[in-house]
C-alpha cells in the first residue's frame, strides 16, 4: 500500500514483497511484473555455510583485485571521495571483515568495497567461474533465466557500514546476499526526473537526510526499502535505482542477465551500465537538437525547446504522472 509520510511528504512504500520457495515456473509471473522482489528460501548451495572469512581467503587465493578504499562510509562516485587500490583477494576479505586495520592505505578505520571486474576490465566481464573457479563451485545461481541471456556474475564484498551510491543498471539482476545484512533502497524508473542524475548515478548521496534546498524534487521519488538477510536474493529489474548499505561485513554475488534482445546492448559494455544502443543514439540526437536550438535568440530557443519537449512527451512517454 502506498502512503505519504506527513512530515517529510516523501512518497513512500511499505517494504517490497518477499516471496518464498519460488520455482522456475512461478518466477515467470514475478518476472513479467518488472517489480523488485525478494526471493527467500532458494537453494544457493554450500556457500551459505562455507563462506567464512578464512574459507574465502584460502579458496579465493592471492589474485589481485581492484578495490575502493574509503575514509567515509558514504562513497561518492561523482566527487570521488575514495581511492582505487589493489590487494590480493585473501587480504581484501580479511580487511573488509575488520573494523580496524593493522595495515592500511590512509587510516586504520578505512572501509573497503570490491566490485569484481573481468581480468581485463576494458574487454572482459566479471565472471566468478573464470576469476574465482574454486569459490564458484559453492554457489548455485537461481536457474530462472536462460544461459544465453547471462551477462556477468560479480563478487561484492563490503566493510560494515559502507554505502554505495544510487544508480541504475541496464541488465536484470539477482543480488544474492550470502553473508551479512544489507539495506537496499530502491526507486522506480519513473522517478528518474526526481533523482538529479549524472550519467547512471544520482547526485543525491545522503538519501536519508536530503538537502531540500539543493534537491527540492527528491521527495517526490517513489522509494522502496528492503533489508536483506543472508540467503535472500533480490530481483532488481533493469532501470530500477538502488542504493545499498552493508550493515555488516557483506559478501554477495550479483548476476546480470539480458532482458532485451542482444543487439540492443553495446557489446563494449563490460559493466552492464551502458544505456541500450537506441537510447544512446537518442541522447546524441538530443544533444544535437540542443546545439541547434542554441543558434536561436533566447525567446525563440525557449519556444522551440518547449515544442520539442511536448513532442517527446506526447509521442514517447507512456505515463506522464512523474513528469516535472
Ligand X SMILES: O=C(O)CCC(=O)C(=O)O
The contact set with ligand X (CB under 6 A) reads 156, 158, 164, 169, 173, 175, 182, 242, 244, 252, 254
Nearest distance, CB of residue 44 and ligand X, angstroms: 15
- Can you state the angle between helices 277-293 and 298-316, rounded to 10 degrees? 160
The residue among 185 and 252 lying less far from ligand X, judged by its C-beta, is 252
The residue among 94 and 156 lying less far from ligand X, judged by its C-beta, is 156
Nearest distance, CB of residue 25 and ligand X, angstroms: 25
Number of residue whose CB is nearest ligand X = 254
Nearest distance, CB of residue 34 and ligand X, angstroms: 16
CA distance 46 to 138: 5
Kindly state the cell numbers that stand for 234: 533480490
The bridge status of strand 250-257 relative to strand 150-158 is: antiparallel
The residue among 76 and 308 lying less far from ligand X, judged by its C-beta, is 76
Nearest distance, CB of residue 234 and ligand X, angstroms: 8
Nearest distance, CB of residue 160 and ligand X, angstroms: 12
Give yes or no for a contact between 128 and 155, defined as CB atoms under 8 angstroms apart: yes
The residue among 221 and 255 lying less far from ligand X, judged by its C-beta, is 255
The residue among 189 and 301 lying less far from ligand X, judged by its C-beta, is 189
CA distance 301 to 310: 14
The residue among 220 and 274 lying less far from ligand X, judged by its C-beta, is 274
- CA 6 from centroid of its chain's CA atoms: 29
Q: Measured at the alpha carbon of residue 64, what is the angle toward residues 58 and 69, in degrees to the nearest 5? A: 105
The bridge status of strand 18-20 relative to strand 37-40 is: parallel
The residue among 76 and 219 lying less far from ligand X, judged by its C-beta, is 76
Nearest distance, CB of residue 284 and ligand X, angstroms: 26
Nearest distance, CB of residue 165 and ligand X, angstroms: 9
CA distance 177 to 139: 11
Kindly state the cell numbers that stand for 286: 538530443
CA distance 227 to 247: 9
The residue among 110 and 169 lying less far from ligand X, judged by its C-beta, is 169
Nearest distance, CB of residue 294 and ligand X, angstroms: 36
CA distance 221 to 11: 6
Specify the long-range contacts of residues 72-78, CB closer than 8 Å, at least 24 apart.
73/111, 73/161, 73/162, 73/163, 73/245, 74/163, 74/205, 74/206, 75/113, 75/162, 75/163, 75/164, 75/165, 76/165, 76/205, 77/165, 77/167, 77/201, 78/165, 78/198, 78/201, 78/203
Nearest distance, CB of residue 252 and ligand X, angstroms: 5
The residue among 251 and 309 lying less far from ligand X, judged by its C-beta, is 251
CA distance 59 to 138: 11
Amino acid at each position: 500500500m502506498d502512503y505519504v509520510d506527513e512530515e517529510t511528504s516523501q512518497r513512500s512504500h511499505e517494504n517490497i514483497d518477499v516471496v518464498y520457495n519460488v520455482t522456475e515456473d512461478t518466477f515467470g509471473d514475478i518476472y513479467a511484473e518488472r517489480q523488485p522482489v525478494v526471493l527467500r528460501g532458494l537453494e544457493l548451495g554450500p556457500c551459505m555455510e562455507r563462506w567464512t572469512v578464512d574459507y574465502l581467503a584460502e579458496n579465493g587465493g592471492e589474485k589481485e583485485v581492484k578495490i575502493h578504499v574509503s575514509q567515509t562510509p558514504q562513497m561518492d562516485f561523482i566527487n570521488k571521495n575514495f581511492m582505487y587500490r589493489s590487494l590480493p583477494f585473501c587480504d581484501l576479505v580479511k580487511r573488509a571483515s575488520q573494523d580496524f586495520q593493522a595495515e592500511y592505505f590512509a587510516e586504520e578505520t578505512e572501509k573497503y568495497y570490491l566490485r569484481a571486474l573481468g581480468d581485463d576490465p576494458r574487454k572482459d566481464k566479471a565472471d566468478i567461474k573464470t576469476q574465482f573457479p574454486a569459490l564458484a563451485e559453492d554457489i548455485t545461481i537461481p536457474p530462472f533465466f536462460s544461459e544465453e541471456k547471462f551477462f556477468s556474475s560479480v563478487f561484492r564484498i563490503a566493510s560494515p557500514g559502507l554505502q554505495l551510491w544510487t544508480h541504475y543498471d541496464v541488465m536484470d539482476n539477482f543480488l544474492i546476499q550470502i553473508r551479512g545484512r544489507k539495506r537496499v533502497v530502491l526507486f522506480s524508473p519513473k522517478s528518474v526526473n526526481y533523482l538529479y542524475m549524472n550519467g547512471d548515478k544520482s547526485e543525491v548521496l545522503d538519501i536519508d537526510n536530503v538537502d531540500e534546498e539543493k534537491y527540492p524534487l527528491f521527495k517526490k521519488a517513489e522509494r522502496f526499502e528492503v533489508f536483506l538477510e543472508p540467503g535472500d536474493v533480490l530481483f532488481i529489474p533493469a532501470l530500477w535505482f538502488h542504493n545499498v548499505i552493508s550493515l555488516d561485513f557483506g559478501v554477495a554475488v550479483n548476476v546480470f542477465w539480458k532482458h532485451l534482445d542482444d543487439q540492443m546492448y553495446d557489446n563494449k559494455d563490460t559493466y552492464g551500465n551502458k544505456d541500450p544502443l537506441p537510447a544512446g543514439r537518442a541522447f546524441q540526437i538530443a544533444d544535437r537538437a540542443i546545439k541547434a536550438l542554441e543558434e536561436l535568440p533566447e525567446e525563440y530557443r525557449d519556444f522551440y525547446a518547449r515544442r520539442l519537449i511536448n513532442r517527446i512527451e506526447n509521442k514517447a512517454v507512456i505515463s506522464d504522472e512523474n513528469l516535472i
